[in-house]
Amino acid sequence: MKKSSGFLSGLRRFIRVEDGLVTVEWVALTAGMVVAAVAIGFVVMHNTGLEAKNIGKDIVTNTTSVYGADAAAAEVNLQK
């Protein structure tokens, strides 16, 4: 019975003292913030990549339509 009374007194003390509870709350709050940051980062990175591809396609299309398909080759010849 002595071991169980020691366990119960330790449990009572843990419940009464709020230091451990505050630590648990901070850990949970920090973990939630990390999860939110990772989720936001994933969404931003995913959508940014798709938009970057679309912008790149538009640049190539506009360059080709204005300067022709050999615009890059003509520019290299002008620089020589």
**Structure tokens belonging to residue 42:** 């994933």
Distance between CA atoms of residues 37 and 39, nearest Å: 5
pLDDT at 24 over 90: no
Which one-letter amino acid corresponds to residue 35? V
What pLDDT was estimated at residue 16? 79
pLDDT at 36 over 70: yes
pLDDT at 23 over 60: yes
Indicate whether this model's pTM tops 0.75.
no
**Angle at the Cα of 72 (from 66 to 75), degrees rounded to 5?**
95
Distance between CA atoms of residues 7 and 18, nearest Å: 18
